[in-house]
Each structure stands twice: as C-alpha cells, then as structure tokens.
Structure 1
C-alpha cells in the first residue's frame, strides 16, 4: 500500500504554502489511490497565480504521480514474485509449504571470477546472485520462515588452483553449498575435494563433456558441449559455406572438450579440421601463436580459397591479447573467425579499440546457451543494465536460478545439509521455471538441453559498438 503520509511530507518539503496548492496535492494523492487520476485537477490556474508558478506546480505534481506509480509497480512486482515462488514451492513439495524449523542465516558460497580471464562475466553473475538473494529473503519473510540466506563471494580469477583454495576456505567456515565455479577447468580442480567432503557445487557454465558424471556433488545448470554448443558451432560454420577449420584453443578441460565436440560434428557434416594451435591457459602474450596462425591461414587460403576457410577461436578473455597480436597480420582478416560462449558478449572485447576493430573485421560470431525470455528473464536483465550498465551474459540468469533452487531445496528438505539438499534438488529444479527457463537435469546432474543464440559486435547508428544477437 502507498504511504499517503510519507507523500504528504514529500509535498510539504516542496514548500507549497498556499492552501489551494495543498488541497490540490492531497486531492491528487487520494485520486491516485482511488484510481481517479488527475484529470479533474488539471484545470486553468486560479486567478492571481502567476502562469510560471502554476506550471511549476503542475510539473511537481506530475513528478509525484510518476514516483507513486513507480513505487506501486515495484510493490506489485514484489508481491507477484512472492506468490509465484510460493506456488513454485508447492509444486516442488507436492503440498503447501509448512513452517521450516530452520533459524538464522544460511551462507551460500559464491565462486566468481571477479578478476582474471572472465572478470566481466563474474561481475554480471555476482550481481544476479545478489538480486536473487534479496528476493529469496523477501519470499522467506512472506511465508513466515525464520531463516535467511546470504551470498559469500570469493574471487577465483578463473584459476583452478585458486578455486580449490577457495573451496577449502569455505569448508573451513562451514559453507558447503556453492555457486560455481564458472569454468570446467575449475570444476575439475574442485570436484575430488567436493566429493570427498560432501560439498555441493552447482556451476552455471561448466560445459566440458568429460565432467558429466552421475551421483557426484556437482550439478551444472547448462547443457554440455557434446550435445549442445559443439554441434551448434559446427553447423553454423558449415552452413556458412566453410569446409576447413583451423582451431585455436585454450588448452584446458573446457577448451579441448569443446574443440573435440565441434570437430566431431563438423567432420560428420563433411568438413575437415586442419592442424591448429593450443596454448596454455595462463598465457598472456601471443605473438608466436599469431605468427604461426598467419602461416597456417595463408597456406589454407592458397589451397582452398579464403571463402572456404575459417578460424575457430576457443578462449576466455585472453582473446584481447590474442586479437592484438593477430591484428598485425592482414592475412588473418581475410577469413571469418568464430567464437564461443567463452567470449560471447564479452565487455573486454569492446573496450579495446584495436581488439574491437579486429573482431569486427573477422565478424566473430559467438554462440552461447540462450535463456528462455520471460518476465523473470527481463527482471534479471534490467537489473544488470541498472547496476552495471550492460546486458548480462547468459550464465547470469543461471546463477539467479541456482540461488533460488538452493533456497527452495533447503525449504523442502528443511535442512541446509548438502546431502539433504542434493537429494531433493533435481525434483525442485524440474518443477521450477527460472530466469533461464525450465531446468530439467539428466542422470549426471547436468541440464538436458537448451537453445543457443549467436552474438556478434555491430556498429550502432551513433557510431558506437555493441554486442547484438544476430541469430538463433
């Protein structure tokens, strides 16, 4: 309900001393509350009142109305969200929720890449997690629960060894429900420790096929590259008329797994994968690799023609250093390059003019798992634009959902014990429609399927550059 008293104070702060002004404002607020509107107060100024003063008052009244309307809209959205999640919980539990016996604060650990190779992704995802936690706590309060959640964030820098250190630190603090990590290399590094110590980790974006293992303590809210992104990239390249791929790959669990998935499907379609380049994940300088790639591309063009050759670049945000080195070779701009979810919508590419211009020259379409567009999706999207000034990438929506599924699983199990949460989480996820869409997990705890979109950098009418979805 709108606080009429508060808005009267707001009006008084405007120093509208004339009695007719006060009367008009009060009448306006009453009219808003009753749905009458302001038509009847929008009349000519009373005699003796200066025109400019009257117009100023009307402007103030319009601002008050807009603020009241915005506040009411937010209240309605919050209440609708609470009711929606009440319904989701009933569906997950099979009955109306009972009052939980839990009390106090339950901490959920967040393994985010806040600096390092995927810093822009990490910022997006932490922002989404904070939004979800805030809304979860509103929901818990509304249903009378005596507990709340909080997100304890740690920066993994996309480094597997550091990710393991952070998990060990969480365990020492008694935090055994984790969001992330982001990369498959990090998941591989923490998996043994999580399994041995019964720590539940749910990754928003690990896609390596070899991590699809049943009955472990890892869930993944995205499809694996074997059945998802790998075949999608292969089809896109082949349908573009390319018949020869030169892969340039980050040599870790995710990069090599995705390269293999693309190669398998591309050869099935009739294409050929030529000798490529693999580089160490910690590499930061690529002059030697760029020179090697230039020689390989030049040779392929001479044999097959530029229109038949493509470079498949599988990387994280070290792409900026690679593109800087590659920009020194004109031959590398004569063929089309393709990317993946590791660089789709990466803010780092746009921020550097040299990197951005190279990406535009080689087109560089990047595939990524696509969330299902909905009111919930739009809410997370708008929050990212408001807080960070940019579109969240796909996996931010999955992070939002992980927080909610954890909370609903805790409520259903009436326990934050990892084994108790693990036992109910697949059923809770299956009956939950999140910001990323429906979440149906397979026997390995991975998302079964999903759609993919293609992001590419385009120039706007104002001469600026932005990522835009150019295909689905």
Structure 2
C-alpha cells in the first residue's frame, strides 16, 4: 500500500487533518424493504481490547462502546444483527492476545475490533488480515499502519500520531516552554509519538534537550528520569502507559513541578487516589471530539445494565462505537459478512457524497431504500482515505485538578 500525504494544523487544541480521499465506490441496490438481504445477516465481532496489562484502564470504555453499538444495531431490526465475543489483548508484556486472537479466528469472527495498543496490533495484524478477517482499531495511532501491507483489511477510527504529536508539541510551546525533556516507551506507539512531538516542538522554536526511552516490562525509571531532570527542561512529556503511576511520583520527588508535566492518550487516566502524589496542573492530549451527554449516558447506562461498574471516563468509547457501527453498515450494504466484502464498502458508507445520517437505524433504513449514505460518527466526522485512516479528527486538551482527575479545557 502506498504512502499518502496528510496535512494537519493545530488551532486552540483542535486539529483537523485533511488528506486526499480515495473513496471506495458502491451502494446498495433496490428501493424498499425488499432490498434487505433475503436472510438477515449475522455479523460476528470479536474484540481484542485491554482487560489486563498496562492499558487496562482503556478496556471498560472501549468495550462499553462496542456493547452499545451492538445493542442499537440489534434493536434496529434492519436486516443485520451483531454477535460480540469479548477478548483480552493484554499488552506486549503479558501477550494475552496470543490466546485471544486464535480463539476468535477459530470461532469464525468476521471482524476484530482492537487492539488499543499499536505495538500489540503489530504483533497480530498479519494473522488477522491474512485470514481474510477485517480488523478495525479504535485507538491505534502509530503512523506505521498507514503503509502496512494489509490487503485493505486494516482500518482505524483513531488518527495517526502525526496529528497528536503536532498538537502536543504546539501546546507545550504555546505554554511558554523553550526546552523539553521526553521519556517514552520504546515501541511503535512511543517512538512514533516522540518523533512527531519533537518535530512539532522544534518547528515552533523549542529544543528537546533530553529524550530517554524505556522498554515494555521495565519497572524502574531512575536513570531516565535523572538524565532528563539533569537538563532542567522547562517541560517534560511522558509518552507512557500505566508506567506513569511510577514515573510521576519519581518526577515529583526529584522536585519537578507537576504543572510542567504533559501526558498523552496512553496515560491520560482518571487517577484519583491511585496516584500517591498530586499532578494538579498537568496537561494531556487525547484524540476525540466532545462526546454528547446523550451518548455518554447511553453508553454508561447500557454498560451498567450488563452488570458492570459505572464508567470513570470515556476514552475511545466513541471510536469503539463508531468502529462497530461502520462495519455493520458496510456489511449491510455489501449484503455480506465476508471481511473482504465489508472492506470494499467501508469508504462508501462514510463517503461525503451520500445522504448524511447519524444513527445506525437511520443509516440502515437509507441503505435498505437503495440510497448512498454518509455516516457521521459520534467520535468525529468519519471519512476514510485509501489507507483506511480517518482523514478528519479532533485532539482534545485536558488538565488535572487537585483530585488528580482531568477535565477538558479545549
């Protein structure tokens, strides 16, 4: 798959990436209910999302988004139902995906939603796409997936870190920092975001004076922190996962002020009392627009009704919901649950030339009338380019309060 060009701009914490869009043609035939499949389709969805490991805090909102989408699709009774099997991705350290992915493929799933971690997805993407199964991630942000040889079967509803890095680098510079230290995870996610942020920060006139990596599974970070603090940077960026719970106390203990620490989507969590030091004033970035109160209420109510604890945050819930809605609409339009057939319609059900619709029920009704649609998601205005990347996205900026919980500020 060839590389594509993407042009993005950060403005007040919101970035919209525009790229040349090569939309996949196709629309359903027929003009009424008779255009529905002769037999209702059953779309078998498997999730490979983090129930354990360093990104486990993202598991509940992501699975909740999948669950709500399935419930609303099934309630619509529009010619397709969704059957979800939930599975654990774990992380690159515990490798839960090595058990989950083969089980899902053996069970005959048509679509796999996940992983959250780019590094984990890299370890099984070839296995999934090689089996003819469509893979769609709500949270993979590594730029590497843009040119991955995936037979058009890998898609994502989260933007590349080329965009988040640009927003983050500009934010740090706009906050007045002239020098920056970075500690980052040495994997596809960490190295990609470190590179993008550094480029953006230095383009804004700043200088990265220290950049220290660590490996998955590491539990001590004393040498990296010492090397960064020794340079006395105006700001420190932590591109980490759950390791931030260890890194933050060490930074504070070294005398570094929390308000000069910047987080990213991999560690932006509602820590509360789980973090033994105050990070009041710290800022972070997270892909995704402002979710409506209606959506957050629906997704949380459905999640609790299934016997789960109420959600503490909604990171990537919208992207997970949209991932299932889009694949179900593409399957309905294709009249097939075959992965290749679904992939051929992913662009057409989100194309700018179709009739705008914002719910599965409304979109499915239009498809069953033989009309072209443009599904507008809850996470963003979803449009895909030829590489399966979203061409439009929003990056939110958040700040921590005295309770070690964050709120959106832009």
Q: Structures share a fold, TM > 0.5? A: yes
Conserved in 2, the CA contact under 8 Å of 1:110 and 1:152? yes
Q: Name the SS of the counterpart of 2:284 in structure 1.
A: strand
Q: Which residue of 2 aligns with 1:340?
A: 264
Distance 1:384 1:174 in 2: 26
Distance 1:107 1:385 in 2: 20
Aligned residue pairs total 355
Give the structure with the larger helix fraction. Answer: 1
Q: CA deviation at 1:107?
A: 1.9
1:436 to 360, 379, 390: 379
Distance 1:295 1:403 in 2: 44
Distance 2:302 2:213 in 1: 34
Matched, 1:194 2:124: no
Distance 1:202 1:272 in 2: 36
Q: Name the SS of the counterpart of 2:147 in structure 1.
A: coil
1:383 to 286, 290, 301: 301
Q: Which residue of 2 aligns with 1:365?
A: 283
| Residues 45-60 of structure 1 mapped to structure 2, 5 A cutoff | none
Closer, same or farther: CA 456–328 of 1 in aligned 2, 3 Å: same
| Residues 86-235 of structure 1 mapped to structure 2, 5 A cutoff | 93=28, 96=32, 98-103=35-40, 105-140=42-77, 143=78, 145=79, 147-159=80-92, 161-213=95-147, 215-226=151-162, 228-235=163-170
TM-score, normalised via structure 2 length? 0.80
Q: Name the SS of the counterpart of 2:401 in structure 1.
A: strand
Q: Which residue of 1 aligns with 2:356?
A: none
Q: Where does the alignment leave 5 or more consecutive residues of structure 2 unmatched?
A: 1-25, 352-373
Matched, 1:351 2:273: yes
Q: Name the SS of the counterpart of 2:122 in structure 1.
A: helix
Matched, 1:328 2:328: no
User: Per-residue CA shift, 1:212-268, capped at 9, x if unaligned?
Assistant: 127532101011011x10100000000011111111001110010000001111111
Q: CA deviation at 1:269?
A: 1.4
Q: Which residue of 1 aligns with 2:196?
A: 261
Q: Which residue of 1 aligns with 2:317?
A: 396
Distance 1:222 1:104 in 2: 27
Closer, same or farther: CA 434–375 of 1 in aligned 2, 3 Å: farther
Q: Which residue of 2 aligns with 1:42?
A: none
Q: Which residue of 1 aligns with 2:231?
A: 300
Q: CA deviation at 1:417?
A: 0.4
Distance 1:207 1:195 in 2: 18
User: Per-residue CA shift, 1:46-80, capped at 9, x if unaligned?
Assistant: xxxxxxxxxxxxxxxxxxxxxxxxxxxxxxxxxxx
User: Per-residue CA shift, 1:111-147, capped at 9, x if unaligned?
Assistant: 110121111210111122111111110112xx3x3x5
Q: Where does the alignment leave 5 or more consecutive residues of structure 1 unmatched?
A: 1-90, 302-307
Matched, 1:467 2:402: no
1:455 to 398, 401, 409: 398
Matched, 1:274 2:209: yes
Rg larger in structure? 1
Conserved in 2, the CA contact under 8 Å of 1:219 and 1:445? yes
TM-score, normalised via structure 1 length? 0.70
Q: Name the SS of the counterpart of 1:129 in structure 2.
A: helix
Structure with the larger RCO, 1 or 2 (CA within 8 Å, 6+ apart) = 2
User: Per-residue CA shift, 1:136-193, capped at 9, x if unaligned?
Assistant: 10112xx3x3x52121011111237432442222111111311111111112111222
Supply the RMSD in Å over aligned alpha carbons. 2.5
Closer, same or farther: CA 353–208 of 1 in aligned 2, 3 Å: closer
Closer, same or farther: CA 104–292 of 1 in aligned 2, 3 Å: closer
